[in-house]
């Protein structure tokens, strides 16, 4: 399996690196964190102008047609700078509507590409939470569905125009599209570990449209794509954290020598490098399987990538913060921000323990079926 980026993806990577590098430096991120929305709207606009918001979307919807691979390349670069834009949820939402939505829903996809439509995902609930079996319900009512329940920590809630909500019907779990300001929706802002303003969403008879058939492939696809997208962000976060540590340790001296020359420190960073390499390999293996279109293989690979990026990603940001010594606990120093992002991602959609349990169940069911 060849994980080398194509020429098109290399160009996307370079463009994304340039935009995030220029517009999401430490001072700018710190400035955005003091705003009410916690979203860098200027950066969002530039991503739209550069075509990166639609990089994954089909050309028929004004996208670049590079699929999940294109999205993951951009998400890695976002993670390297921990840039405060709701990119992963919007990107996954766009792919879901393009693949599973009807003609009317597909009409929103072009707006996602130019930034005028901003999707987010409501896939999690308060514990005990099993994302594949939501307790939120959807009841058929004429040509619409009525949603009732509560969704937790919806990412990028501020500025979102539409929400994709997971809910259970008589036919099984499904995915439903609702406008963020529709009647029957109540938002409560909550600050997350990453300092993002997420939203807890109460649904009391909100009318929505089904994305595909309830009980069909839309919700499994949403969970699969979300896991891979988050893994891509986490790879970037870990790489950015390691780069920061390498620069700091090469400049900081103790006993007249750079800290980077001490064997104990070198071992810590070597472990980080190995973990990141494994994270990257499992990420691109998952991307490859998802794009091949075989759901069981894609689910397995996505869970493997999720486990690595939840577990190893958290280990990396822990080690990086540790080797910074006393300055590592300064919440205003850049390394702390990488730790916060790594911690948040590692617990999203159940975290590493849930990924391992889900993977075990998937492998067991496959053995029984065979």
Predicted pLDDT of residue 328: 74
Q: Count CB atoms within 10 A of the CB of residue 252.
A: 15
Which stretch of DSSP H or E encloses residue 169? strand 162-169
Rounded-to-integer distance, Cα 213 and Cα 174, Å:
7
Q: What is the pLDDT of residues 193-240, one digit of tens each?
A: 998 999 999 999 999 999 999 999 999 999 999 999 999 999 999 999
pLDDT score of 230: 98
Q: How many CB atoms lie within 10 A of CB 205?
A: 12
Q: How far is CA 43 from the centre of its chain?
A: 17
Give percent of the chain with pLDDT exceeding 90: 79
162-169/119-122 β-pairing? parallel
Residue 58 scores a pLDDT above 80? yes
Question: Residue 333's pLDDT band (boundaries 50, 70, 90)?
Answer: confident
Q: What's the confidence (pLDDT) of residue 102?
A: 92
What per-residue confidence (pLDDT) applies to 257?
Answer: 67
Can you tell me the mean pLDDT for 363-368? 75
Pairing label, strands 185-191, 172-179: unpaired
Give me the residue label for tokens 């929505």: 208
Distance, CA of 349 to chain centre: 10
Question: Closest Cα to residue 189, out of 161, 149, 156?
Answer: 156
Q: What is the pLDDT of residue 189?
A: 94
Query: Distance (Å, rounded) from C-alpha 118 to C-alpha 83?
Result: 17
DSSP classification of residue 4: P
Q: What is the pLDDT of residue 370?
A: 52
Distance CA 325, CA 245 (A): 11
Say if residues 156 and 198 touch (Cβ distance below 8 Å): yes
> pLDDT at position 130, please?
87
**pLDDT the model gives residue 264:** 63
- Find where tokens 């921990």 sit: 82
Contact between 300 and 326 (Cβ < 8 Å)? no
Contact 276, 239 (CB under 8 A): yes
Spatial CA neighbour of 52 closest among 82, 84, 14:
14
Average pLDDT taken over every residue of the chain: 92
258: pLDDT strictly greater than 70: no
Mean pLDDT, range 79-91, rounded to an integer: 97
CA distance 3 to 291: 13
Q: Is the dihedral of CA 82, 88, 91, 95 positive or negative?
A: positive
Residue 255: is its pLDDT beyond 80?
Answer: no
- Angle, CA of 252, 256 and 258, to the nearest 5°: 35
- Report helix, strand and coil shares of the chain as percent, to nearest 5: 55, 15, 25
Distance CA 76, CA 239 (A): 9
pLDDT at position 71? 98
Closest CA to 143 of 173, 102, 184: 102
Q: Which domains does the chain have, with CATH numbers?
A: 7-116 (1.10.540.10), 120-210 (2.40.110.10), 218-369 (1.20.140.10)
| Residues paired with residue 151 on neighbouring β-strands, in sequence order | 201
**Which residues have a Cβ under 8 Å from the Cβ of 38 and sit 6 or more positions away?**
32, 84, 158, 195, 196, 197
pLDDT given for residue 253 in this prediction: 57
Looking at residue 248, what is its pLDDT? 73
CB atoms under 10 Å from CB of 129, counted, come to: 16
Q: What is the pLDDT of residues 94-111, one digit of tens each?
A: 999 999 999 989 889 999
Cα–Cα distance measured from residue 359 to residue 89, given in angstroms and rounded to the nearest whole number = 23
- Summarize pLDDT for 143-165 with one digit per residue, the tens: 899 999 999 999 999 999 999 99
Structural contact between residues 238 and 313, judged by C-beta atoms closer than 8 angstroms: yes
Give the pLDDT of residue 368.
Answer: 54
In whole angstroms, what is the distance from residue 145 CA to residue 138 CA?
6
- Dump pLDDT digits (tens) for 259-303: 666 666 777 888 999 999 999 999 999 999 999 989 999 999 999
| 85 has a pLDDT exceeding 80 | yes
């Amino acid at each position: 399996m060849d994980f080398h980026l194509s020429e098109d993806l290399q160009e996307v990577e370079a463009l994304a690196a340039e935009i995030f590098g220029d517009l999401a430096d430490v001072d700018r991120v710190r400035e955005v964190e003091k705003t009410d929305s916690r979203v860098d709207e200027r950066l969002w606009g530039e991503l739209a102008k550069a075509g990166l918001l639609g990089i994954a979307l089909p050309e028929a919807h004004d996208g670049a047609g590079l699929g999940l691979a294109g999205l993951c390349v951009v998400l890695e670069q976002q993670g390297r700078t921990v840039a405060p834009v709701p990119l992963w949820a919007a990107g996954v939402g766009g792919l879901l509507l393009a693949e599973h939505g009807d003609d009317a829903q597909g009409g929103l996809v072009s707006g996602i590409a130019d930034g005028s439509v901003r999707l987010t995902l409501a896939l999690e609930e308060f514990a005990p939470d099993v994302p594949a079996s939501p307790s939120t319900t959807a009841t058929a009512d004429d040509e619409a569905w009525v949603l009732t329940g509560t969704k937790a920590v919806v990412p990028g809630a501020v500025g979102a125009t539409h929400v994709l909500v997971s809910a259970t019907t008589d036919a099984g779990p499904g995915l439903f599209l609702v406008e963020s300001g529709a009647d029957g929706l109540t938002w409560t802002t909550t600050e997350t570990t990453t300092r993002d303003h997420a939203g807890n969403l109460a649904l009391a008879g909100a009318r929505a449209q089904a994305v595909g058939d309830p009980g069909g492939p839309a919700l499994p696809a949403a969970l699969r794509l979300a896991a891979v997208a988050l893994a891509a962000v986490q790879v970037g976060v870990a790489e950015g954290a390691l780069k920061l540590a390498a620069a700091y340790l090469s400049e900081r001296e103790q006993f007249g020598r750079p800290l980077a020359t001490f064997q104990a420190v070198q071992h810590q960073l070597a472990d980080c490098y190995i973990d990141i390499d494994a994270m990257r390999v499992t990420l691109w293996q998952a991307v490859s399987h998802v794009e091949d279109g075989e759901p069981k293989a894609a689910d397995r690979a996505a869970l493997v990538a999720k486990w690595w990026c939840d577990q190893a990603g958290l280990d990396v940001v822990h080690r990086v913060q540790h080797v910074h010594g006393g300055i590592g606990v300064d919440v205003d120093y850049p390394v702390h921000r990488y730790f916060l992002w790594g911690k948040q991602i590692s617990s999203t959609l159940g975290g590493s323990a849930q990924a391992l349990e889900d993977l075990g169940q998937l492998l067991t069911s496959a053995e029984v079926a065979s």
